[in-house]
Amino acid sequence: MRHFALLHKEKNSKARLGRLETVHGNIDTPCFMPVGTQGTVKSIPQKELHDSGAEIILSNAYHLFLRPGAGVIKKAGGLHKFISWPKPILTDSGGYQIFSLALLRKVSDEGVQFQSHIDGMRHFLRPEDVVKLQEDLGCDIMMPLDECVHYPCAQGQAEVAMRRTLNWAKRSRAAFRGDGQFLYGIVQGATYDDLRRECAESIVGMDFDGYAIGGVSVGEPKSLICDIIDVSMRYLPEDKPHYLMGVGLPEDIIEAVGQGIDMFDCVVPTRYGRNGTAFTSCGKMTVRNAPYSEDFTPLDPECGCYTCRTFSRAYLRHLFNTEEMLGAQLVSLHNIYFYLNMMRRIRDSIAADRFAEFKKEFFSKYSIKQ
């Protein structure tokens, strides 16, 4: 099966239209993947995801390995059936979560030994184990185990992690069977151009189905994120999908699309939604704040989501201030819709060779400082 088709390159930028093909359906790119870490996009039922236009979601192999366990999911017929989501799923390896959440961990070239952040049980995962785990989950796109370092990071430490990532990528590639699934390679190297170049060239030489830029949005300034994308993208092939992991805010996504990125994921829409912050055409707004107590307008008058068609800012504020869980659900649903609709508008602008005009129009109203 052909996995990626490049459909159109925007004339005035590096933005591009594409289509990902999987056994569970196709995905138009550039795309945003709502994050369903533990098999659920927090507070959003699957039907609402579908109605909002989601074509793919992301889950996390580390969390699913710990709970409910790959054996349970395999008995259910795979992750799609277990969570009742018929469309494509990408699973992250959980490498970042192992390094950030595990109680104790010991990293070696062979793999990662760690204690569960849930119950303290000890586990050891090799790159081959992580591939097998994701094969058992039955995801459409899987990510190999990699080592991500935080910012700032000394070059020597970044180089060790990068070379270990390459070693694990090679072993993951050898263990991968295919069978209707796809495996992406991950470019690491922190903020060091020479490491990014070496990693990208080596990863591309292994001939993965797609390529991800990892190790971004880990504390570095936004200007460095743009630099990392630019350096990494110089060495990635045009005929494969480009995935920027863990980014981000609307303004970050729009900038990265202009650099040629096809795929995005981030917990921001639902995390902000649970805290009462909505993304709107005019920027972020915190609906729990006092000025909205008698504001009977929608969150965003330009939005067509269920929340904006049905409820007022005053009612949503009331829900948060009375700690009703419906408030978090409704604002999260709005944020998911906002992101997915933004991606639709981005794709339309690329198709019409008007991405620069879209970007200018978007930021003429959208306030980043709110």
Give yes or no for a contact between 183 and 146, defined as CB atoms under 8 angstroms apart. Answer: no
User: Which of 140, 209, 265, 300 is flagged as catalytic?
Assistant: 265
User: What pairing do the DSSP bridges indicate for beta strands 16-22 and 25-29?
Assistant: antiparallel
When pLDDT is averaged across residues 193-208 and rounded to a whole number, the result is 98
Instruction: Give this prediction's pTM.
Output: 0.97
CA atoms of 23 and 25, how far apart (whole Å): 6
316-341 confidence digits (pLDDT tens) = 999 999 999 999 999 999 999 999 99
CB 163 within 8 A of CB 192: no
Question: What pLDDT is attached to residue 104?
Answer: 80
Is 92 an annotated catalytic residue?
yes
pLDDT for residue 103: 72
Q: How confident is the model at residue 370 (pLDDT cuts 50, 70, 90)?
A: low
In the set 28, 92, 136, 353, the catalytic residue is 92
A 10 A CB-CB count for 62 gives: 26
If one counts every other C-beta atom within 10 angstroms of the C-beta of residue 313, the result is 22
Assess contact for 196 and 228: CB atoms under 8 A: yes
Neighbouring C-alpha atoms within 13 Å toward the C-beta of 49: 27
pLDDT on residue 101 = 74
pLDDT band for position 127 (cuts 50, 70, 90):
very high
Tell me the per-residue pLDDT of 138-153, one tens digit each, with 9 for 90 and over: 999 999 999 988 899 9
Residue 73 has pLDDT above 70, yes or no: yes
Q: How far apart are CA 305 and CA 51, in angstroms?
A: 9
pLDDT tens sequence across 204-243: 999 999 999 999 988 889 999 999 999 999 999 999 999 9
Cα(251)–Cα(243) distance, rounded to whole angstroms? 17
Mean pLDDT calculated for residue range 87-113 = 88
Q: ∠217-355-54 over CA atoms, to 5°?
A: 60
| Percentage of the chain modeled with pLDDT above 90 | 90
pLDDT reported for residue 94:
86
Q: Is-catalytic flag, 265?
A: yes
- pLDDT confidence of residue 116: 87
**pLDDT confidence of residue 23:** 98
- Count CB neighbours of 177 within 10 A: 10
Query: Mean pLDDT throughout 64-89?
Result: 97
**Looking at residues 31-49, what average pLDDT do you find?**
97
Where do runs of H (alpha helix) occur along the chain?
46-52, 61-66, 70-75, 79-83, 95-101, 127-137, 155-175, 193-205, 222-233, 250-257, 268-274, 306-310, 313-321, 325-351, 355-365
On the question of a cis peptide bond just before residue 185, with omega within 30 degrees of 0, the verdict is no
Q: Which domains does the chain have, with CATH numbers?
A: 4-266 (3.20.20.105), 268-370 (no CATH)
For range 267-292, the mean pLDDT: 97
Q: 197 with 231: CB under 8 angstroms?
A: yes
